[in-house]
Structure 1
Amino acid sequence: MNAPRVRVQRRPVHGVLLLDKPLGFSSNDALQKVKWLLRAEKAGHTGTLDPLASGVLPLCFGAATKFSALQLDAPKTYEAIALLGVTTTTGDAEGEVLQERPVTADQLTPERLAAVQAQFTGPIRQVPPMHSALKKDGKALYEYARAGVEVERPARDVVIHALNMELTHDSQARIAIKFIVKCSKGTYIRTLGEDIGAALGCGAHLIFLRRIDTGGLGVERCVTLAQLEAMTDDERLRQVLPVDTLLAGHKPVTLEEQDAGRFLSGLRRRGPWPDAPAVAVYGERPHALLGVGHVQAGELIPGRLLSPIEIQQILQGAPRAHIERGTLETTL
């Protein structure tokens, strides 16, 4: 007879955990695993990372989920390896081989590589791969692909902010291209690898993909699932970074107690602030993130706001928060 399942007692957790997602996990699988380890009530991720890719996956908990869309729009940096001379149905090592072609020395001269690197730097257009989650008539493209149906996909504009390429070899000593790319949202690295191979005249498919940065959050700050599993409960909670980790590009604005309460009610405030498209707004006493907004013509206009309950919970989990907690209760 199976033992009864133990119900996990959930709790409010607010902040961002930077996960080094392992291979073989979908973004949602990784999220659910970490959510369970933290016993968190509410969680979300900041955009999918393929099961075949590893690397930076910011996971948002509680109040941080309100700002997860900011990471969707942020530039991302990847390290990838494309095997030359072989194309596949999926653009990566999971697919069936479509064509094999020899790779010749004249295709890989420094001058040729430099020309191709320049060709794919800056604004470019990409045709999304069939094996992607983009939807056509309410159905994901990969569902059509699995059924053997190819549908028309309009090319999309993306930006390659930086691209560095060099020759390397795979584990079988076959020649490949290693590249590090910083790109805009919506860029398909599999497609970039295929297009680089096509430009070199030999074809290519991706055999390695790792995201090393997203919006300034680098892989060196990440924790792995294995590390989390080995930690105590308190150690896991210490891996959760503050909510405003997601707001690095926002200018800080601090409000006095009276204005802080009114701002949290959704009211605009006037002050000596210069125009700014994105500001992170804090209460002065206690020091606490209230939300985001923008400043126009001396007016602070609220955007996404934390609730008083979320702010209280964050302060209760913060060192020395109890010193000024009474102030928060009376001013919010």
Structure 2
Amino acid sequence: MTASTRVRVQRRPVHGVLLLDKPLGLSSNQALQKAKWLLRAEKAGHTGTLDPLASGILPLCFGAATKFSQLQLEADKTYETIVRLGVTTTTADAEGDVLQERAVTCSVGQVVEVLDAFMGPITQVPPMHSALKKDGKALYEYAREGVTVEREARNVVIHELELLDMQLQGDAPYLHLRVQCSKGTYIRTLGEDIGQALGCGGHLRMLRRVQTGHLHVEQAITLEALEAMDERQRIAALNATETLLSHHEPIELDAIEAGRFLSGVRRRGVWPDIPAAAVFGTAPRALLGVGHVHAGELIPDRLLSPIEIEQTLAQEYKLLNH
């Protein structure tokens, strides 16, 4: 088929959250574009990147949900990873060239001691092979040019560091870890630093994100599964936009109050102070946006547009009645 005869995909308004189990080998943006194409969606965005060599849960936001994608960027993450001990690489993962090979002589006791030392608040220097930007250019672009730039250490928190399995003998010694951490944690750097602390070095052989915030990879679907669905099933695979608002206190407003709230007007009520509220209209029940309550006033923070609300309700109605 030539470029002139290629069929143009007719985009449409799609609203909601797709919990994707991103495969190995695809960048987060490639996975997003594939899902966007399958859903024929007008507007889409993801909630923070996963390396091409990492698999696992990647929440994709469509339409109205893109307004709340930042919430997942801020959320804690949980990963499973395998650290290959005794070998360091240029990228701290299996893609890089080998820098050094060392014997693994540490004991089980030393492993436990080192893992304990990485629990809680730690500092990390971001790796050169990362998407972090310096002077408007991604660090990995400098790395590809053979240039190393100064990176500021950042503070992160390792909430849990569980040893799932290990092998300290043989041809390919490793640690299999589950890591629950704050946003901005580089697991490749953590694996490299653990290997360094054990005196043998190490790099990541596998990385899988199993949880982001309250969303778990067991809830996610693959691109292959999405591709095998018909159009209605693909829309049905979307989670509601409010899936991103699990830590928000729900508040419901009647039609008159909802209209005023959507106009950006503060509403008075008998609510206690609420730092984060998900605000819904009633009859029909629909997400209006988010806000907070202070001194009995509900103050709008981020609002959906009337057209987004109308389209979301129409999308739900179509699913229920077809």
Report the TM-score, using the length of structure 2 for normalisation: 0.96
Pairing of 1:169-318 with structure 2 (within 5 A): 174-318=172-316
Aligned amino acid, residue 276 of structure 1: I
Structure 1: any 5+ residue segments left out of the alignment? 324-332
Shift, 1:117, TM fit: 1.5
Shift, 1:322, TM fit: 10
CA distance in 1, matches of 2:131, 2:303: 31
Q: Tell me whether 1:40 sits opposite 2:38 in the alignment.
A: no
Q: Tell me whether 1:57 sits opposite 2:58 in the alignment.
A: yes
Quote the RMSD (CA, aligned, Å).
1.7
Alignment CA distance shift 1:11-1:24 (3 Å): same
Q: 1:167·1:175 contact (CA, 8 Å) conserved in 2? A: no
Equivalenced residue count is 319
Counterpart of 2:316 in 1: which secondary structure? Answer: coil
Pairing of 1:109-124 with structure 2 (within 5 A): 109=108, 111-124=109-122
What do the CA deviations read for 1:102-125 (whole angstroms, capped 9, x no partner)?
A: 011xx132x222211211111000
Shift, 1:244, TM fit: 0.2
Alignment CA distance shift 1:141-1:234 (3 Å): same
Aligned amino acid, residue 113 of structure 1: V
Alignment CA distance shift 1:169-1:11 (3 Å): farther
Matching residue of 1:329: none
CA distance in 1, matches of 2:291, 2:280: 11
Superposed structure 1 runs of 4+ greater than 4 Å apart: 320-323
Q: Tell me whether 1:85 sits opposite 2:78 in the alignment.
A: no
Report the TM-score, using the length of structure 1 for normalisation: 0.93
Q: 1:43·1:65 contact (CA, 8 Å) conserved in 2? A: yes
What do the CA deviations read for 1:260-287 (whole angstroms, capped 9, x no partner)?
A: 0000000000111111111100002211
Alignment CA distance shift 1:321-1:137 (3 Å): closer
Shift, 1:149, TM fit: 1.1
Structure 2: any 5+ residue segments left out of the alignment? none
CA distance in 1, matches of 2:60, 2:135: 30
CA distance in 1, matches of 2:272, 2:158: 32
Q: 2:236·2:319 contact (CA, 8 Å) conserved in 1? A: no
CA distance in 2, matches of 1:314, 1:279: 20
Matching residue of 2:107: 108
CA distance in 2, matches of 1:173, 1:40: 48
CA distance in 2, matches of 1:322, 1:226: 25
